[in-house]
């Protein structure tokens, strides 16, 4: 089967599965709603902040507060895109139709990545502008130094979270096992490693912590992170590549 036909087939699969459409929709709604709420609360509490907190106040990053939960939906989306076929047994039919496993895998990931990127970028710009509206006079504008980079980076961050999840799901094949590992990894292990002094320097190099650096415009007080915004996104991209390579290698070596 030609690569273009495989791509069209994967697009049909993704848009015809209600769960993947719903998870993307949930990612948008949660990110926007929580971002607006945190921005509104931050605006109300701004006058109570001390001098140091005002100096490091980052209105751009605050508007992205909803991504902490929005990425949960992106993780689910990434897992379902890959593992739905395993859970239903359709993977055998798909691999019989497309025996070139590299073509099959990367067509699926390319279509899902493009969809995730479009949704993530639209969400990042929307949550930024809505968040700044909630912050009112304490907000910033898209033309300020570093802001456009942070907004575009927010969209790239959410996209990479989804693609990383696709790679992990390809390795593990099971949706429950994939989610059972990814959820604690991002929402427990990463947070613990990043906030405990003994492991803080290790936590900085985990995909989510490194990737979030791209959304910062104003550095936190005492920040001694050894990489900048693009460096952090680069570290996250390396994790994504490793997950995809691992998924590809295992897909080629084992039966469906």
Q: What is the pLDDT of residues 12-51, one digit of tens each?
A: 778 777 788 889 999 999 999 999 999 999 999 988 888 8
Mapping DSSP to helix (H, G, I), strand (E, B) and coil, where does residue 231 land? helix
How much is the pLDDT for 229?
Answer: 95
Name, in order, each residue with C-beta under 8 angstroms of 116's C-beta and a sequence gap of 6 or more. Answer: 24, 74, 77, 78, 158, 159, 162, 163
Distance CA 54, CA 21 (A): 40
State which H helix or E strand residue 40 sits in: helix 18-45
The two three-digit tokens of residue 158, written as one number: 């959410």
Q: How many other C-beta atoms are found inside a 10 Å radius of the C-beta of residue 74?
A: 28
Say which residue the tokens 């456009």 belong to: 148
* The predicted structure's pLDDT at residue 89: 67
Q: How far apart are CA 157 and CA 116, in angstroms?
A: 10
Give the domain ranges of the chain. Answer: 70-127+155-253
Question: In angstroms, rounded to a whole number, what is the distance separating the alpha carbons of residues 160 and 152?
Answer: 12
pLDDT, residue 2, reads 62
Spell out the per-residue pLDDT of the chain, length 256, in tens.
566 777 887 777 787 777 888 899 999 999 999 999 999 999 999 888 888 888 889 999 999 999 989 999 999 999 998 887 777 767 777 777 777 877 888 888 999 999 999 999 999 999 999 999 999 999 999 999 999 999 999 999 999 999 999 999 999 988 899 999 999 999 888 888 888 888 888 989 999 999 999 999 998 877 888 999 999 999 999 999 999 999 999 888 876 5
Query: What length does the chain have?
Result: 256
Q: What sign results for the dihedral spanned by CA atoms 89, 95, 98, 102?
A: positive
Q: Compute the CA torsion angle 72, 74, 78, 79 (nearest 10 deg).
A: 20
Residues 58 and 123: their CA atoms lie apart, in Å, by 19
């Amino acid at each position: 089967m030609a690569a273009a036909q495989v791509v069209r087939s994967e697009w049909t699969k993704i848009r015809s599965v209600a769960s993947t459409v719903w998870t993307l929709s949930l990612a948008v709604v949660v990110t926007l709603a929580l971002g607006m709420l945190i921005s509104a609360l931050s605006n109300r509490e701004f006058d109570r902040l001390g001098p140091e907190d005002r100096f490091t106040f980052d209105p751009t990053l605050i508007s992205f507060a909803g991504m902490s939960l929005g990425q949960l939906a992106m993780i689910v989306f990434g897992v379902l895109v890959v593992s739905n076929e395993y859970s239903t047994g359709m993977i055998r039919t798909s691999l019989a139709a497309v025996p070139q496993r590299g073509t099959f895998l990367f067509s699926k990931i390319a279509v899902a990545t493009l969809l995730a990127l479009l949704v993530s970028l639209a969400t990042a710009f929307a949550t930024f502008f809505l968040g700044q509206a909630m912050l009112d006079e304490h907000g910033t504008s898209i033309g300020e130094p570093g802001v456009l980079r942070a907004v575009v980076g927010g969209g790239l961050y959410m996209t990479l979270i989804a693609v990383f999840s696709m790679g992990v799901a390809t390795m593990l094949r099971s949706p429950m096992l994939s989610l059972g590992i990814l959820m604690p990894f991002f929402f427990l292990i990463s947070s613990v490693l990043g906030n405990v002094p003994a492991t803080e320097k290790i936590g900085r190099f985990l995909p989510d912590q490194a990737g979030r650096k791209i959304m910062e415009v104003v550095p936190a007080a005492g920040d001694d992170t050894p990489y900048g915004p693009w460096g952090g996104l680069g570290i996250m991209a390396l994790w994504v590549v490793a997950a995809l390579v691992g998924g590809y290698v295992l897909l080629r070596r084992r039966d469906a």
